[in-house]
């Protein structure tokens, strides 16, 4: 019986399958041509790896729609003629109950789909493997499995819609199918952050001042539980924030607490760090650009080489040679000299070359020891960094800057917050009710203070700290 049904279905959809095969060849040919063009016109080629890993610009993601298309074409080609030509009743007279009948027809469709998408996926992986290291190829393989499941799910849902005789149920199934496909196709595309309060500290008033956002560009300005004022007054209380306006208006330098500040002093004091709990999400591929600044060249070039530290050791890649065995061996030897425990739990660093200096990466090994790895003038150096060993670090954000006073911030599993000096000394700050798992945070420096504001979308906090001794001066909460 299965053989008879299979032959019947094959005769019915062999031409659509042939069309899908030809179409897949055209799509893959264009994909290979375009990928080759991108790699041949970008410099260095490792920038394409960086875009894939750190910017999540995956060139193969557009092929998701081909997988959807396969499911739709097979479903409509297999079942729509049965409905249009009213052959459903004939099919139901086969010596099988209705569930067995539907199951066998769906199974045959699944076999056809698997044949097409398997050939397509193997060809895709072959193309990708010519340009990317195996760690990225593994991600593409996993994505292709996900796309294949979506293709099969699409096929089953579309088939059930076509076979449904009840119009109301058919409409409900259609809506459900569209919602499922929309969810998988556009998940996260419409996420938008909303800040109810923007909080600053006024050194003129010695008070926190806020801008409250009601949406649709409607705002309120004021001091909590005291008074509100106009936007113009609000800006006048924040000369370190709106100093450019004062400069244009020829109102600088300005006197604050008997000290004069000009535009350059204010500008040079500026520093900002940001944190969002979404930053805790680990990269699918743990490969990082291995920057190599030279003391006789002013600009930090984007490197040819990338590195990662895995369970089986450290690996260094470049585009032309793939795995660099000699350099990988040298890196592993340096790590073993320091008794580094594989694999690395986390690697933190600024992965762009748009920075005035390169401090390298802070790497947490499998035994929670922290190391600084950097390459300079073609030489890799690694040193262990001391930090509060009773706390497990969950996140570090390095941000090289011209002030060379603070290099980063760190957060541990108990939501303690630390500033890191240029030499990676940990300085703990007291942030009341801070929870790294669901909060976002921003540090803003001005000539007098460090302002840290953080929130979970409902409760908003702000605190200012001395730039001299990092002691908390004042804090406040808004709900």
Which tens digit of pLDDT belongs to each residue from 234-283? 999 999 999 999 999 998 899 998 899 999 999 999 999 999 999 999 89
Tally of domains within the chain: 3
Residue 9 lies in a domain: yes
Q: How many whole angstroms separate alpha carbon 348 and alpha carbon 42?
A: 25
Of the candidates 80, 93, 32, the one whose C-alpha atom is nearest the C-alpha of residue 60 is 32
Task: List the one residue out of 54, 81, 448 whose CA is nearest residue 271.
Answer: 448
**Confidence at residue 25, expressed as pLDDT on a 0 to 100 scale:** 97
Task: Please name every residue paired with 372 in a beta bridge, in sequence order, or none if there are none.
Answer: 362, 383
Q: Contact, 455 vs 199, CB < 8 A?
A: no
181 and 91 together in one domain: yes
Report the percentage of the chain scoring pLDDT > 70: 94
When pLDDT is cut at 50, 70 and 90, the band that residue 103 belongs to is confident
Contact 360, 291 (CB under 8 A): yes
Q: At which of 186, 207, 233 does a domain end?
A: 186
- Residue 299 phi/psi, 5° resolution? -95, 140
Q: Are 173 and 158 in contact (CB under 8 A)?
A: no
- Report pLDDT for 187: 58
**Overall average pLDDT of the 75-102 stretch:** 67
Distance of CA 306 to the CA centre of its chain: 18
Asked if residue 112 and residue 5 are part of one domain, the reply reads yes
Q: How far apart are CA 241 and CA 6, in angstroms?
A: 72
pLDDT of residue 88: 52
Please name the helix (run of DSSP H) or strand (run of DSSP E) that holds residue 118, with its range, or none: helix 98-129
Q: Is the pLDDT of residue 158 over 80?
A: yes
Q: For the chain, how many residues are written?
A: 479
How are the residues of the chain apportioned to helix, strand and coil, as percentages rounded to the nearest 5? 40, 25, 35
Tokens of 125: 């992986």
Residue closest to 392 by CA, chosen among 418, 421, 414, 360? 414
Q: Are residues 103 and 170 in the same domain?
A: yes
What is the layout of strands, in order, in the sheet containing 449-455?
A: 271-276, 440-445, 449-455, 460-466, 472-478
Same domain, 323 and 341: yes
Among the residue ranges 153-167, 193-207, 213-227, the one predicted with the least confidence is 153-167
pLDDT band at 298 (very low <50, low <70, confident <90, very high): confident
User: Within its chain, how far is the Cα of 104 from the centroid?
Assistant: 42
Residue 439 lies in a domain: no
Residues 228 and 288 in one domain: no
Least confident of 75-79, 152-156, 186-190, 310-314: 186-190
Q: State the Cα–Cα distance between residues 348 and 345, nearest whole angstrom.
A: 10
Model confidence at 211: pLDDT above 70: yes
Q: Are residues 170 and 21 in the same domain?
A: yes
Which range among 81-90, 362-371, 398-407 shows the weakest confidence by mean pLDDT? 81-90
The secondary structure of residue 433, as a DSSP letter, is T
Please check whether residue 447 lies inside any domain of the structure.
no
Residue 307 contacts residue 314 (beta carbons within 8 Å): yes
Q: By residue range, what is the domain housing residue 401?
A: 271-429
CA 211, CA 222: separation in Å to the nearest integer?
Answer: 7
Q: Is 210 domain-assigned?
A: yes
* pLDDT of res. 194: 80
Give domain status of residue 34, yes or no.
yes
Alpha carbons within 13 A on the beta-carbon side of 407: 18
What pLDDT, on a 0 to 100 scale, did the predictor assign at position 370?
96
Domain end marker among 220, 241, 269: 269
DSSP state of 312: T
Q: How far apart are CA 210 and CA 213, in angstroms?
A: 10
**Same domain as 257, residue 382:** no
User: Does residue 474 lie in a domain region?
Assistant: no
Neighbouring C-alpha atoms within 13 Å toward the C-beta of 244 = 4
96 and 127 inside one domain: yes
pLDDT number for residue 98: 65
Co-location of 310 and 376 in the same domain:
yes
Cα separation, 423 vs 267, in Å, equals: 23
The answer as to whether 118 is a domain residue is yes
Do both 301 and 369 map to the same domain? Answer: yes
Query: What residues have CB less than 8 Å from 462, skipping those under 6 apart?
Result: 199, 201, 208, 451, 452, 453, 475, 476, 478
Least confident of 164-178, 298-312, 345-359, 435-449: 164-178
Last residue of a domain, one of 152, 186, 220: 186
Distance of CA 42 to the CA centre of its chain: 22
Q: Say what the pLDDT of residue 87 is.
A: 58
Find which of 177-191, 378-392, 423-437 is predicted with most confidence, using mean pLDDT.
423-437
Q: What is the pLDDT of residue 178?
A: 81
For residue 13, give the 3-state DSSP assignment: helix
Residue 173's pLDDT is 83
Predicted local confidence at residue 418, as pLDDT? 97
pLDDT for the residue 2? 67
pLDDT at 285 over 90: yes
Structure tokens at 440: 């976002």
Contact in structure between 435 and 419 (CB atoms under 8 Å): no
φ, ψ for residue 80 (rounded to 5)? -65, -40
Confidence of residue 120 (pLDDT cuts 50, 70, 90): very high
Residue 183 has pLDDT above 80, yes or no: no
Do the Cβ atoms of 393 and 387 come closer than 8 Å? yes
188 pLDDT tier (thresholds 50, 70, 90) = low
- What average pLDDT does range 197-212 have in this prediction? 94
Return mean pLDDT, the chain.
91
pLDDT of amino acid 184: 73
Q: Which residues contact 478 (CB under 8 A, 6 or more apart)?
A: 196, 197, 199, 210, 224, 459, 460, 461, 462
CA-wise closest residue to 323 among 100, 135, 182: 135
Residue 403: inside a domain: yes
pLDDT over threshold 70, residue 89? no
Among 160-164, 364-368, 437-441, name the one with the lowest average pLDDT. Answer: 160-164
Cβ atoms of 439 and 277 within 8 Å: the answer is yes
123-133 pLDDT per residue, tens: 999 999 999 99
Same domain? 298 vs 359: yes
Secondary structure class of 248 (helix, strand, coil): helix
Number of alpha carbons in the 13 Å side-chain half-sphere of residue 164: 15
Strand 449-455 to 460-466 pairing: antiparallel
Is there a single domain that holds both residue 51 and residue 134? Answer: yes
pLDDT band at 1 (very low <50, low <70, confident <90, very high): low
98-104 long-range contacts (CB < 8 A, ≥24 apart) are: 102/163, 104/1, 104/2, 104/5
């Amino acid at each position: 019986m299965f053989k008879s049904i299979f032959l019947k279905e094959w005769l019915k959809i062999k031409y659509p399958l042939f069309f899908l095969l030809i179409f897949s060849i055209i799509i893959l040919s264009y994909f290979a041509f375009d990928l080759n063009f991108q790699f041949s016109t970008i410099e260095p080629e490792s920038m394409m790896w960086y875009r894939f890993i750190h910017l999540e610009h995956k060139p193969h993601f557009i092929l998701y729609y081909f997988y959807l298309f396969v499911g739709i074409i097979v479903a409509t080609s297999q079942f729509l003629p049965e409905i249009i030509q009213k052959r459903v009743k004939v099919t139901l007279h086969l010596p099988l109950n209705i569930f067995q009948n539907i199951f066998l027809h769906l199974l045959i469709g699944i076999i056809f789909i698997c044949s097409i998408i398997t050939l397509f996926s193997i060809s895709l992986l072959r193309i990708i493997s010519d340009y990317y290291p195996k760690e990225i190829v593994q991600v593409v393989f996993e994505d292709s499995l996900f796309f294949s499941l979506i293709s099969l799910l699409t096929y089953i849902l579309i088939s059930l819609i076509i076979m449904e005789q009840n119009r109301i149920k058919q409409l409900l199934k259609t809506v459900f199918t569209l919602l499922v496909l929309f969810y998988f196709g556009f998940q996260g595309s419409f996420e938008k952050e909303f800040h109810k309060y923007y909080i600053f500290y006024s050194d003129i008033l010695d008070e926190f001042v806020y801008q409250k956002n009601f949406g649709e560009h409607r705002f309120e300005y004021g001091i909590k539980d005291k008074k509100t004022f106009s936007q113009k007054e609000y800006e006048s209380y924040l000369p370190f924030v709106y100093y450019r306006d004062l400069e244009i208006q020829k109102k600088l330098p300005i006197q604050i607490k008997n000290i004069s500040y000009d535009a350059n002093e204010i500008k040079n004091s500026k520093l900002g760090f940001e944190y969002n709990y979404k930053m805790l999400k680990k990269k699918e591929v743990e490969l990082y650009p291995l920057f190599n600044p030279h003391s006789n060249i002013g600009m930090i070039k984007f490197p040819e080489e990338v590195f990662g530290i895995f369970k089986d050791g450290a690996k260094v890649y470049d585009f032309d040679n793939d795995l660099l065995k000699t350099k990988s061996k040298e890196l592993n030897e340096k790590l073993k000299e320091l008794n580094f425990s594989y694999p690395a739990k986390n690697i933190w660093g600024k992965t762009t070359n748009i920075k005035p200096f390169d401090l390298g990466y802070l790497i947490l090994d499998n035994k929670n020891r922290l190391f600084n790895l950097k390459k300079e003038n073609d030489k890799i150096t690694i040193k262990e960094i001391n930090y509060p060993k009773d706390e497990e670090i969950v996140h570090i954000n390095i941000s090289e800057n011209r002030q060379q006073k603070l290099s980063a911030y760190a957060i541990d599993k108990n939501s303690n917050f630390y500033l890191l000096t240029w030499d990676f000394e940990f300085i703990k700050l007291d942030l009341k009710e801070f929870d790294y798992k669901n909060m976002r945070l921003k540090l803003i420096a001005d000539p007098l203070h460090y302002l840290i504001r953080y929130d979970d979308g409902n409760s908003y906090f702000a605190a200012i700290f001395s730039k001299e001794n990092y002691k908390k001066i004042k804090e406040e909460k808004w709900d």
